[in-house]
């Protein structure tokens, strides 16, 4: 963190007027762009559309569960709706939401690069995502699919309907995810600006790196699993079907070998956002930089050895169960390291409660609950009772929505001024955060209770005694929906202002993306930046800014 | 600062001017672009290895469950054709590495000859595969519910052929894709696109081709030499 104050850019060059939003407009220029910022925004709006659809489905599901018997949809439709909700939210929203939107937008700028290493692959990744999304959603709407998002065999390999097209969709989406991962690793290795050593990188970049490693290593396995499932359906090759001499548990092993690490593909980018927001809004360098950086890598490594905790009751040996249980507890260590480091960063900091920070604090609380209830489920004896109940549903929503999405909202508010050059509405953003926080807890705390009392997940009818908790949960989900709409309005309405009102560096942050204008010019940097201070050295960053404004 | 891969800010880095044609705008120099591409290719190869690992795992699970069926079924494969194809691919790996080496030394004519040779050897491999496949199809030794061979002595022999066709099929697709890419390289070499200053596509295709060969080196004993 040497503060060698060399000049960053030759001061004589003035920035031209245009930026990446206003240069070369027109539909075709956007559709065939290789600019990482535009691709990030295209991903953003597409994913938000999917998130809206998935959210509406969730509201329909919750409304159906207002009464113990039929409320608004039939049982068959209910099964298809929760499958669609699960598939959309996991494969189409949670996996790509942070890397493909915020990651694409800010990662090259954080490194001082003009673009990712392979811009055309980046665009290909976007179109593969769109194609995969059409296949997946089309499969359910056209053919019907009620397997749940896990596609367990032999049910999925023997029923008719849209499973084959869905497996192709998952295969294509996997490709899209791999391309993002490959791109990020190559970019981080080879496109860092002079002076940007590994330990000078913002922690967001470390999180993206760990995520990319999992994307590259885990995703091919779901690819081949989907190919084998397709073969099973087309030719009854017998690999996953016990009646043909195969092994249905093998499918579960394959599935979770991808789908547990994928949980970390979702949460690591969330943690990456939080690691940027908390130091900036506490106006204090991150506590234990190296510990936070390496804990991302630690989580990525351990994530490959815990998949068996999804299979405690699937006929796995008790010995394997005990090992997987132990390894799952191990994941809590690097996660705990991160949480305590964030808290230590806030301790005695000068905290300003902007919307990104409000979401970051909500994240700490919700992810804390999500993570700790995960330990209940990692304990074999407890899991036998809680397996496949609403307790699980509440747990993974706390991690996925309370963790990943809340962190995404933190990052979204944080980088929104950089993306569009306009500040969001601070008051309504704070109200949105409050409603989201209350609504979220209102939805899922009742589900913890109803689950621990034995209410199974994915059931259409339930016992009368559970109705009170289900009604509470449904009301919570309505509040949550209102909160999300409020948040969207606070972000979107200011975009109709003609003038860019966001300063280059509204938060006083110290990483490179804040040294360029808001919104950034098409090629990000007019000259290769030279990094002379650490990513959380706010004082040095301010001094450099003042020097530049004087010259 | 001389060890940095990137020229330092002040030294004017202007767009378009004095950039070689192959150099994309967001890279600073050819070496940086080459290294980034190489990392990308290696990562892609890692995903290929993991893809095939899934198949190998499925093979081992099924073989452990049905050892007799696998031994019995593998006698239907023609070992000599398998050996022939192994040799063909090994030679093609040699011609490929020579193509890379020749282009690195700026010997474009020989590089072109080696690329043609690699393409033809890939074609020979697929022809031999075609002969093998048509024998199996004729005998009804096929995957899953298409299996119609009457003389099977051990139940579950079709599982072996399920694995045989899925594994060699996916491998064959990789050979075909490789041949397509090599055909593209031949076309671009004729156009004079490559020289010792820029032969990244040939180099990366070489890596891919070696991996596909190596996967066959594992497939051959697994399928043809079961014991």
Q: Please indicate, yes or no, if residue A341 is contained in any of the structural domains.
A: yes
Contact criterion met (CB < 8 Å) for A8 and B9? yes
d(CA A71, CA A69): 6
* pTM of the model as a whole: 0.92
pLDDT computed for residue B18 by the predictor = 59
pLDDT at B9 over 70: no
Instruction: Find the domain containing B169 and state its range.
Output: 50-224
Contacts of B35 in chain A (CB under 8 A): 189-190
Tokens standing for A134? 């059409």
Instruction: Find the domain containing A381 and state its range.
Output: 37-239+247-546
* CATH number of B202's domain: 1.20.120.80
Q: Please indicate, yes or no, if residue A57 is contained in any of the structural domains.
A: yes
What is the percent of chain A with per-residue pLDDT over 70, rounded to a whole number?
Answer: 97
Distance, in angstroms, between B113 CA and closest chain A CA? 30
* Mutant choice from A122, A186, A251, A256 vs B, greatest count of B C-beta within 10 A: A186
Distance, in angstroms, between A119 CA and closest chain B CA? 9
- Which residues lie across from A456 on neighbouring strands? A389
Tokens standing for A447? 């589900």
Q: Please indicate, yes or no, if residue A28 is contained in any of the structural domains.
A: no
Q: Please indicate, yes or no, if residue A475 is contained in any of the structural domains.
A: yes
Q: Please indicate, yes or no, if residue B35 is contained in any of the structural domains.
A: no
| pLDDT grade for B184, boundaries at 50, 70 and 90 | very high
Contacts of A221 in chain B (CB under 8 A): 50-51, 53-54
| Closest among A219, A218, A247 to A157, alpha carbons compared | A247
Contact criterion met (CB < 8 Å) for B143 and A231? yes
DSSP A398-462: HHIIIIIIHHHHHHHHHHHHHHHSS---HHHHHHHHHHHHHHHHHHHHHHHHHHHTTPBTT-SS-
| Closest among A476, A450, A481 to A465, alpha carbons compared | A450
- Mean pLDDT over residues A64-91, rounded? 93
Q: Please indicate, yes or no, if residue B24 is contained in any of the structural domains.
A: no
Contacts of A216 in chain B (CB under 8 A): 43, 46-47
Rg (CA), chain A: 23
* CATH number of A88's domain: 1.20.210.10
Contact criterion met (CB < 8 Å) for A237 and B52? no
Interface of A with B in 226-245 (CB under 8 A): 227-228, 231-232, 234-239, 244-245
Whether the link from the prior residue into A154 is cis, omega within 30° of 0, is: yes
Interface size, chain A vs chain B, as Cβ–Cβ contacts under 8 Å: 146
Contacts of A225 in chain B (CB under 8 A): 54
Interface of B with A in 145-164 (CB under 8 A): 145-146, 155-156, 158-159, 162-163
- Nearest by CB to A245, from B32, B55, B159: name it: B159
Q: Please indicate, yes or no, if residue B11 is contained in any of the structural domains.
A: no
| pLDDT grade for A10, boundaries at 50, 70 and 90 | very low
Contact criterion met (CB < 8 Å) for B10 and A182? no
| Length reported for chain A | 551
| pLDDT grade for A5, boundaries at 50, 70 and 90 | very low
Determine how many CB atoms are found less than 10 A away from the CB of residue A10: 12
- Mean pLDDT over residues B174-199, rounded? 95
Q: What is the maximal distance between C-alpha atoms in chain A?
A: 78
pLDDT at A231 over 50: yes
Tokens standing for B130? 């075609």
pLDDT computed for residue A551 by the predictor = 67
pLDDT digits (tens, 9 = 90+) for A392-420: 999 999 999 999 999 999 999 999 999 99
Total domain count, chain B: 1
Mean model confidence pLDDT for chain B: 88
Interface of A with B in 505-534 (CB under 8 A): 523, 527-530
Q: Please indicate, yes or no, if residue B116 is contained in any of the structural domains.
A: yes
For A247, A308, A320, B113, the CA distances from A314, given in Å and listed in that order, are 12, 9, 11, 57
Contact criterion met (CB < 8 Å) for B40 and A181? no
- Nearest by CB to A231, from B25, B32, B166: name it: B166
* Mutant choice from B16, B30, B35, B40 vs A, greatest count of A C-beta within 10 A: B40
Judging by beta carbons within 10 Å of its beta carbon (0-12, 13-18, 19+), is residue B48 exposed, middle or buried?
A: middle
* Contact status of A11 with chain B (Cβ, < 8 Å): no
Q: Please indicate, yes or no, if residue A25 is contained in any of the structural domains.
A: no
| pLDDT grade for B10, boundaries at 50, 70 and 90 | very low
- Nearest by CB to B143, from A216, A237, A250: name it: A237
Mapped to the 3 state alphabet, what secondary structure does B99-142 carry? Answer: HHHHHHCCCHHHHHHHHHHHHHHHHHHHHHHHHHHHHHHHHCCC
pLDDT computed for residue A14 by the predictor = 43
Q: Please indicate, yes or no, if residue B42 is contained in any of the structural domains.
A: no
- Mean pLDDT over residues A379-385, rounded? 91
| pLDDT grade for A133, boundaries at 50, 70 and 90 | very high
């Amino acid at each position: 963190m040497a503060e060698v104050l060399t000049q960053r850019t030759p001061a004589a060059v003035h920035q031209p007027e245009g930026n990446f939003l206003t240069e070369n407009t027109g539909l075709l220029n956007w559709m065939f762009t290789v600019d990482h910022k535009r691709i990030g925004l295209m991903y953003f709006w597409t994913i938000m559309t999917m998130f809206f659809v998935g959210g509406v489905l969730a509201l329909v599901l919750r409304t159906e569960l207002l009464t113990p018997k039929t409320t608004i949809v039939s049982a068959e439709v209910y099964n298809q709706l929760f499958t669609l909700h699960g598939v959309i939210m996991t494969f189409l929203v949670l996996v790509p939401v942070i890397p493909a939107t915020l990651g694409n937008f800010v990662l090259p700028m954080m490194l001082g690069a003009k673009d990712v290493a392979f811009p055309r692959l980046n665009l290909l990744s976007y179109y593969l995502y769109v194609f995969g999304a059409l296949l997946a959603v089309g499969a359910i709407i056209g053919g019907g699919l009620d397997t749940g998002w896990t596609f367990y065999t032999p049910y999925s390999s023997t029923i008719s309907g849209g499973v084959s097209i869905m497996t192709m969709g998952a295969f294509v989406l996997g490709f899209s995810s791999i391309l993002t991962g490959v791109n990020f690793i190559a970019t981080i290795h080879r496109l860092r600006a002079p002076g940007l050593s590994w330990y000078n990188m913002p922690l967001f970049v470390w999180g993206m790196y760990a995520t990319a490693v999992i994307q590259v290593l885990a995703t091919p396995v779901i690819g081949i699993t989907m190919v084998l499932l397709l073969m099973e359906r087309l030719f009854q090759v017998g690999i996953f079907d016990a009646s043909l001499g195969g092994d249905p548990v093998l499918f579960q092993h394959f599935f979770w070998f991808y789908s547990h690490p994928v949980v970390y593909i979702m949460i690591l980018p969330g943690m990456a956002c939080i690691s940027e927001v908390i130091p900036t809004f506490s106006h204090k360098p991150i506590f234990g930089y190296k510990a936070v950086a390496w804990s991302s890598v630690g989580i990525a490594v351990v994530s490959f050895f815990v998949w068996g905790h999804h299979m405690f009751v699937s006929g796995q040996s008790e010995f394997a169960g005990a090992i997987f249980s132990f390894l799952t507890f191990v994941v809590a260590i690097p996660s705990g390291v991160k949480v305590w480091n964030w808290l230590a960063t806030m301790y005695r900091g000068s905290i300003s409660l902007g919307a990104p920070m409000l979401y970051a604090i909500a994240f700490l609380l919700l992810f804390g609950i999500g993570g700790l209830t995960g330990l209940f489920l990692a304990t074999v004896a407890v899991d036998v009772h809680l397996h496949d109940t609403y307790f699980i549903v509440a747990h993974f929503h706390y991690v996925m929505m309370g963790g990943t999405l809340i962190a995404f909202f933190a990052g979204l508010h944080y980088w929104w001024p950089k993306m569009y050059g306009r500040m969001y509405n601070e008051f309504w953003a704070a109200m949105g955060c409050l409603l989201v926080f209350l609504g979220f807890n209102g939805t899922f705390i009742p589900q913890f209770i109803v689950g621990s009392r034995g209410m199974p997940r994915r059931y259409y009818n339930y016992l009368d005694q559970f109705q009170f908790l289900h009604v509470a949960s449904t009301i919570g989900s309505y509040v949550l929906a209102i909160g999300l709409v409020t948040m969207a309005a606070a972000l979107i309405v200011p975009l109709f202002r003609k003038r860019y009102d966001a300063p280059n560096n509204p938060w006083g942050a110290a990483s490179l993306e804040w040294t360029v204008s808001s919104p950034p010019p098409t090629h990000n940097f007019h000259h290769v930046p030279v990094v002379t201070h650490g990513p959380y050295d706010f004082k040095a960053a301010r001094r450099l800014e003042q020097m530049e404004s004087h010259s | 600062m001389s060890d940095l891969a990137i020229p330092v800010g002040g030294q004017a880095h202007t767009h378009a001017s004095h950039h070689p044609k192959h150099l994309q705008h967001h890279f600073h120099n050819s070496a940086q672009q080459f290294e980034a591409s190489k990392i990308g290719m290696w990562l892609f190869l890692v995903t290929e290895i993991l893809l095939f690992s899934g198949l190998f795992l499925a093979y081992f699970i099924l073989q452990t469950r049905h050892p007799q069926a696998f031994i019995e079924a593998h006698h239907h494969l023609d070992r000599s054709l398998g050996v022939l194809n192994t040799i063909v691919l090994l030679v093609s790996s040699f011609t490929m590495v020579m193509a890379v080496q020749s282009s690195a030394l700026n010997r474009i004519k020989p590089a072109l000859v080696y690329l043609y040779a690699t393409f033809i050897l890939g074609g020979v491999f697929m022809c031999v595969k075609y002969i093998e496949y048509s024998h199996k199809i004729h005998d009804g030794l096929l995957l899953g519910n298409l299996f119609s061979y009457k003389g099977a002595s051990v139940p579950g022999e079709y599982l072996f052929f399920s694995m045989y066709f899925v594994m060699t099929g996916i491998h064959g697709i990789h050979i075909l894709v490789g041949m397509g890419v090599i055909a593209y390289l031949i076309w671009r070499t004729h156009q004079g696109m490559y020289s010792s200053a820029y032969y990244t596509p040939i180099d990366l295709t070489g890596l891919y081709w070696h991996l596909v060969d190596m996967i066959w080196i594992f497939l051959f004993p697994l399928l043809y030499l079961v014991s």
